[in-house]
Structure 1
């Protein structure tokens, strides 16, 4: 394959410049060549080489506006805003219709968080520029900084009117619609965009994402499939399509799409996990387990992988195996609340109540904020006969769930068990006020308390 003429010239300029640096010989370049060399090094993150090229460029072309504007860009990047602004004012006096001067001034105001002024300057740049798309894009970004999503969306759409291939503008338009919770409107916009640019895999993919968000999985699949027809290596579209097909319970097709992402790239733990889940739904238990094991092998830190294997064995009521895997997971991350909760429920199923109590306690300690976890912990403490600890834990739970009848009924039961009638009465009254219909919880959890006359009297009184 032959390089086109411009690319050959560009590569020759770079080679010539690098040869000059190595040999200390001085070669002549025109100012545009220097600009391209400088921008190349900036894109590569080689700021020192860019600065060397700029210095040599200005020595050879001291009056070049283009090189001075590149210098301004580098000064702005280094936060030397006052020097950059002074240079721009000097350049403006010479070339008042140079759009790049307005763009760089806008960049300075943007860095100072004066986005309104930045927009004004960019609108001036629109009068002089030939690259309208780029300036509309910049205006859109300024409105994003101001959280004015409607104006941002309008400018990104203007950018696409000029340059339909601008992918970043397309992503930004969709982002604005989504942020404004206008998913249906975004789909309508993408339909008109696709009419103009039917082979945009990005547009089809975004359309699929929006349909997925609206739970219209049939249309999501159709859109993702178009994206993959256009680009047979569009990994993201295959992945999203797999998710949508799963929602439609088309598990074999979902597996094919996830497998395609693995064929295109190295296996990802997410794809392996989803394939395992699909196989489990299809009843292919051996295959499911194989892929769950591949998931944790690929990424031992992915908690969803360990959880998938553990839950798989729990569903089979193979608690020994489930406990083996949750212990392996805890050996890797002993501060994972999801692991500890499973450790607790598995041990409870195996009648290892002290271990179960430890698990629920650790789950809460590491941030589990679910009511059922607190209740399981309290009930285990009751089973172990640790009523004082059960009371303390229940009171701690009320800090997170201050008006929760299930906690109040438990506190009432514990206090009556501890012969503290006053506190028992207080909490039982609270519980009955919050949810009278579930007053039989006392009978279920505390059969001896249920028979106490004071308890029955309170229930009857509340019923009346």
Structure 2
């Protein structure tokens, strides 16, 4: 039975509700604890956390600020306050909060990493690099900081440094899907398609449901003239309208114009923005031309598809 004047029991009850995902009930419990002991910084902190989970950011800010008012050296409250500020787009306030957390605990790697993310969002890439490097210096196996460092390097066009950072993250956590994807994107940007494919395939090993990635692998094969290697990837992601278009390309290069048209029509039907469809379709011609498709035949397909688009918009 709950003792009504025991703040610790109310705190424990709040934690139990949190574990069950009952955040509103947790809030009530923490408020009870605060009612008994108004300067209970842990209760204010927990209250802020639960407000965050309910997307009640202004209430979360008030709760974290109250926790900090009671205990100015409360580093976790400072970092959480920074997270809320950043989520609201208040980047300078977020930076100040993270810096306060770091001032309290210079080895607080999460605060350094969060500071790096905020600087990155502001385009302050050199500052972001310094922050991520500091986080990594404190915790060398901090795989997320390595990935984020790679993202900044890529933004600066430092592709070799980006690749090294992503590889470092993968060395720490071999099943880090996002690191493999980022590595693949970087290789793709360098036109190193085979390395990009290998990286994307590794990412697929850890998340076979990533249809966009299957589409990307297929496309990298296709633009190299490897239609047969591309085909199964488009088939596995056929629910995507661009995979439907690309599968049409494969059939066209195989000489099956009728089958190609079926997939083109399917893609056209599923892409709401018809201008986007035709822009993408036209931009693909150079890759088709390299695989033996002449301009006249291609333009005839475009004409037929445009006519279908007009017909589809006519009232029944």
| TM-score scaled by length of structure 1 | 0.54
> Against the structure 1 CA distance between its residues 142 and 301, is the aligned structure 2 distance closer, same or farther, given a 3 Å change threshold?
closer
> Against the structure 1 CA distance between its residues 290 and 139, is the aligned structure 2 distance closer, same or farther, given a 3 Å change threshold?
closer
SS at match of 1:244: helix
Taking the TM superposition and a 5 Å limit, the aligned residue runs for 1:161-172 are: 162=37, 164=39, 167=42, 169-172=43-46
> Against the structure 1 CA distance between its residues 154 and 314, is the aligned structure 2 distance closer, same or farther, given a 3 Å change threshold?
same
Tell me the residue number matched to 1:173.
47
Give the Cα separation in 2 of the matches to 1:393 and 1:192: 60
> Against the structure 1 CA distance between its residues 158 and 380, is the aligned structure 2 distance closer, same or farther, given a 3 Å change threshold?
same
Mapped contact 1:340–1:362 kept (Cα < 8 A): yes
Give the Cα separation in 2 of the matches to 1:346 and 1:461: 34
Is 2:229 the partner of 1:359?
no
Q: CA deviation at 1:291?
A: 1.4
Structure 2, unmatched stretches of 5+, are: 283-296
> Against the structure 1 CA distance between its residues 308 and 391, is the aligned structure 2 distance closer, same or farther, given a 3 Å change threshold?
same
Q: CA deviation at 1:336?
A: 6.3
Tell me the residue number matched to 2:214.
340
Structure 1, unmatched stretches of 5+, are: 1-101, 103-121, 398-404, 410-433
Taking the TM superposition and a 5 Å limit, the aligned residue runs for 1:260-271 are: 260-271=134-145
Mapped contact 2:214–2:236 kept (Cα < 8 A): yes
| TM-score scaled by length of structure 2 | 0.75
How many pairs align?
A: 296
Is 2:179 the partner of 1:305?
yes
For each residue in 1:263-282, what CA deviation from the matched residue of structure 2 results, as whole angstroms up to 9, or x when unmatched? 22242221111111112222
Give the Cα separation in 2 of the matches to 1:332 and 1:147: 31
Give the Cα separation in 1 of the matches to 2:155 and 2:274: 41
Is 2:295 the partner of 1:462?
no
Give the Cα separation in 1 of the matches to 2:52 and 2:253: 50
Tell me the residue number matched to 1:372.
242
Give the Cα separation in 2 of the matches to 1:307 and 1:293: 11
Question: Alignment partner for residue 316 of structure 1, among 174, 185, 190?
Answer: 190
Q: CA deviation at 1:351?
A: 2.0
Tell me the residue number matched to 2:268.
406
Tell me the residue number matched to 1:126.
4
> Against the structure 1 CA distance between its residues 217 and 373, is the aligned structure 2 distance closer, same or farther, given a 3 Å change threshold?
farther
SS at match of 1:208: helix
> Against the structure 1 CA distance between its residues 185 and 378, is the aligned structure 2 distance closer, same or farther, given a 3 Å change threshold?
farther
Tell me the residue number matched to 1:6.
none
> Against the structure 1 CA distance between its residues 154 and 352, is the aligned structure 2 distance closer, same or farther, given a 3 Å change threshold?
same
Q: Relative contact order (C-alpha < 8 Å, sep 6+): which is higher?
A: 2
> Against the structure 1 CA distance between its residues 196 and 333, is the aligned structure 2 distance closer, same or farther, given a 3 Å change threshold?
closer
Please tell me the root mean square deviation across aligned C-alpha atoms, in Å: 3.9
Tell me the residue number matched to 1:156.
30
Tell me the residue number matched to 1:215.
89
Q: CA deviation at 1:160?
A: 4.5
Is 2:85 the partner of 1:197?
no
